[in-house]
Amino acid sequence: MLLSVRARLADLGAADSADGLLTTPVAGFAVLATLAEEGREATAADLADIATAATRYALARTPLQEVLDAHWRGAHLLWQTVAEELRHEPVTEVAAFVAALLSFLHRTTQAIVAAYRLPPSDEVAARERLRTVLLSGQDPAEHAELARFPLSRSYNVIAFRVEGSAGADIEALHPRAVESLQRLEGDAAVIRLTTFDGRGGIILQPSNDPHPAHAVIDSLATTLAAPVTATMAGAEDFPAIPAARQLAEDLLELARGLDRAPALYQLSDLMVEYQITRPGPARDALEAAITPLLGHPHLLEALRVNLRYGLDRQSASKALGLHPNSYSYRLQRIAELTGFDATDAAAARVLSAAILVTSVLRDRPN
């Protein structure tokens, strides 16, 4: 039965070339027989031709209602064409095909409507210019009017990075990721201006956004099926946006350099680490203090464990699996090389800060 339906669908798509709007929707139904035969729902790849055609119609300013009408006329024509084939089939097979048809129509309608949610190309360009102006701290009023874009009095600037190595998968999901960043389910007037190169970017989140920042990042991580590390800084007005962006990017570099778990961080989460790692003579001195240990991994490990256990030699040596005398010797070597006694509380604080600086400056992930 499905072979006959497949043949009728192919004939139908070929015969309908006279109607420009109807051709692609009808031809798109050619995959329906395959889906019914395999007993599965349509994937994004199955819907690619219909989504591409819908995007083309959207950019040409063809009314959405016309496209949907043509699509459903195609469904009606399909049913008329294959009904005769189905007349003598068992009820169970007819029911299965109807269920597949309804599911397919559901997915294709979603794909068409999603294409129309994208702004026309001239608006896209205008919004890109507006985003650039906002990130530079200039007055955005004129550009916002050209882009037909509502401005917020203040913004959260979010810097983010997609972790992991699923580059090809992320590239394929890039359009869906951008859409998830710009709008979440239930969004109405709120649109977030974003940059995203497939690995990371910036989100300008307006203050009237009904979704908290972590929900935006969680949506992105879900869409990409990959963990995302993000940091956020607030800008009370347009001129404050560049500084907020710089702070968010500095915090992102810091969080990743410290190997923090993928999540959303703010300055309040990284205040001590941020201050210690700011450029200046103190940071240079801390980096110099720990440099002699960089060629001795076993000494660095001993120092980290010593700090982790609050200078408790017995617990630290046990954690390292060392005899207490061997552990004491390592602490002595640390003092000789750095000039700081790791068993002294004040010196230990300096060494702890030095390790922090080194972690950020030397162990940055790619």
Extract the tokens encoding 348: 């230990």
Q: Is residue 9 a contact partner of residue 33, using CB atoms and an 8 Å limit?
A: yes
Separation between Cα atoms, residue 231 and residue 156, nearest integer Å: 10
Q: What is the pLDDT along the chain (366 residues), one digit of tens a residue?
A: 555 555 555 555 444 433 444 444 455 566 776 777 777 787 877 777 777 777 767 656 678 888 888 878 777 777 777 777 777 778 887 787 788 888 888 888 888 887 776 555 566 777 788 889 999 998 888 888 877 778 888 999 999 998 875 444 444 455 555 665 655 544 444 567 888 877 888 999 998 888 899 988 988 888 778 899 999 999 999 999 999 999 999 999 889 887 889 999 999 998 888 888 888 888 888 888 888 888 898 998 888 888 888 888 888 888 888 898 898 899 999 999 999 988 888 888 888 888 888 877 765 443
Domain boundaries, the chain: 2-117, 122-275, 279-362
CA distances from 152 to 132, 167, 208, 303 (A): 16, 34, 7, 49
Homologous superfamily of domain range 122-275 = Reverse transcriptase/Diguanylate cyclase domain (3.30.70.270)
pLDDT at residue 236, as a whole number: 93
- Which residues touch 156 (CB under 8 Å, ≥6 apart)? 203, 204, 205, 207, 209, 213, 232, 233, 234, 235, 244
DSSP string, 236-296: SSGGGHHHHHHHHHHHHHHHHHTTPPSSEEEGGGSHHHHHHTSSSHHHHHHHHHHGGGTT-
Homologous superfamily of domain range 279-362 = PucR C-terminal helix-turn-helix domain (1.10.10.2840)
Q: Structure pTM? A: 0.56
